[in-house]
Amino acid sequence: MDNPTIKEIARRAGVSKSTVSRIISGNGYSSPEARNKVLGLIEELQYKPNAVARAMVSQRTHNIGVLLYRRDLPIASHPFYGKIVDAVLLEAARLNYSIFVTTDHDMSYRSADFMIEKRVDGLILISRLQQNVIDHITNFGIPFVMVNGSTDVDGVIHIVNQDEEGGRMVAEHLTQTGHKRIFVIAGPQSHRSHHLRLRGFLTSIRQSGIQESNASIQSAGTSTFGEGYEIMRREWNQFREGGYTALFATNDMLAMGAMKFLLEQSVRIPEQVSVVGFDDVDFAAMFSPSLTTIKVDAGDMGTKSVHLLDQLIRQEQNVEHPSQLVPRLIVRQSTK
């Protein structure tokens, strides 16, 4: 019933625990006879080494904690962050780490402390989180990388997208296709990415010689589908009477929410209104009409974060901060 231990194997093989340990790890010498007997026993008794005991002596758990700060569900299944998590899971398995996924809506120390107590080898922090949590973690000297968040602290390994550049690409796409009056739904400006996307967009619009007054900017309190829908519903009269021919939302979910309301008003997309989002969540390609957007490579973010964290854990020298990920315009059915 209970898993056999190294001690049981040793007893049955008539050797010492040390010998069994050496044979299992492949470190140090062992005679062929001892090896055969031990290996046979391991097979027969289905011996599984106890990773807890190993962690105890090696001071390494080979576990990584993923901390995802979100106020509400979905979390792991979030259309954007979920893709990061998936990539983290895959890359971690490849590098022989196990992943603790933890969520927290308090942005408190609680879950960070929990991971510290579990003695994870390192931490991946996803989404925005407060400075004091970063300080707290730094304080314990545990390696971590930050993904798609924002921080001013020097030396923090920090994987982000070139959001400002992406905003510029949206503006160019829309102005080049002849749009002059553009309606904008801007996600929470306290978020680094929403802020930069809007800024890049506006800068570029201005450079194209379009008056600021030709862009109506609506502030979204959250960055959800429901919020996009609501804003469009609320601003429907202004939108219709303003002669807007294009809509840009700083993420896909806001864009699709707004789009759904427009479709319900029988607005034809893209014939009457062009719509552009940001992120390229899976859903963007599925929506009808499919959504033109800026692709942020969430998978790459996840993969890189594990890779970098692994280097930090192994204390490699000169781990290079990755340059920011390059966004890409994906033109689909929602613009023309």
Partner DNA sequence: CTGAAAGCGCTTACAG
Binding marks (x or -) toward a copy of itself, 123..142, rule CB under 8 A?
----------------xxx-
Q: Answer whether 228's CB lies under 8 Å from 254's CB.
A: yes
CA distance 155 to 144: 11
| Options 15-23, 35-43, 101-109, 203-211: segment touching a copy of itself (CB under 8 A) | 101-109
Q: How many residues does the chain have?
A: 336
From candidates 39, 90, 319, 330, binder to a copy of itself by CB under 8 A: 90
Q: Which residues contact 74 (CB under 8 A, 6 or more apart)?
A: 82
User: Is 105 among the residues that bind DNA (CB under 7 A)?
Assistant: no
Task: Give which of a copy of itself, DNA, none residue 322 binds (C-beta under 5 to 8 Å, depending on kind).
Answer: none
Residue 21 binds which of a copy of itself, DNA, none (CB < 5-8 A, kind-dependent): DNA
Instruction: Locate 295 and state its tokens.
Output: 């692709």
Which of the choices DNA, a copy of itself, none does residue 30 contact, using the CB cut-off of 5 to 8 A by kind? Answer: DNA
Which pair of tokens denotes residue 262? 């427009």
Query: Interface with DNA includes 50 (CB under 7 A)?
Result: yes
Contact 306, 64 (CB under 8 A): yes
Determine if 79 is a binding residue for a copy of itself (CB under 8 A): yes
Pick 46 or 213: Cβ nearer DNA: 46
CB closer to DNA out of 33 and 282: 33
Contact between 49 and a copy of itself by CB under 8 A: the answer reads yes
CB 6 within 8 A of CB 20: yes
In DSSP terms, which residues pair with 326 in a beta bridge?
Answer: none
# residues near DNA by CB under 7 A: 31
φ, ψ at 251 (rounded to 5°): -150, 165
The whole-angstrom separation of Cα 250 and Cα 229 is 14
- Residue from 1, 43, 46, 57 touching DNA (CB under 7 A): that is 57
| 203 near DNA (CB under 7 A) | no
Residue 138 region by backbone torsions, left for phi larger than 0, else alpha for psi between -120 and 50, else beta: alpha
For DNA, give the closer residue by CB, 6 or 129: 6
The two tokens of residue 152 are 């001013």
Question: 186 has which bridge partners?
Answer: 219
Question: Judged by CB under 7 A, does residue 24 bind DNA?
Answer: yes
- Cα 319–324–325 angle (5° rounding)? 115
Separation of alpha carbons 117 and 63, rounded Å = 12
Q: Note whether 82 binds a copy of itself by CB under 8 A.
A: yes
Q: Which residues bind DNA (CB under 7 A)?
A: 3, 5-7, 14-19, 21-22, 24-25, 27-34, 47, 49-50, 53-54, 56-59
Q: Which residues bind a copy of itself (CB under 8 A)?
A: 1-3, 46, 48-53, 55-56, 61, 63, 73-79, 81-83, 85-86, 89-90, 93, 98-103, 111, 113-119, 139-141, 225, 256-257, 259-260, 263-264, 282-283, 286-288, 290
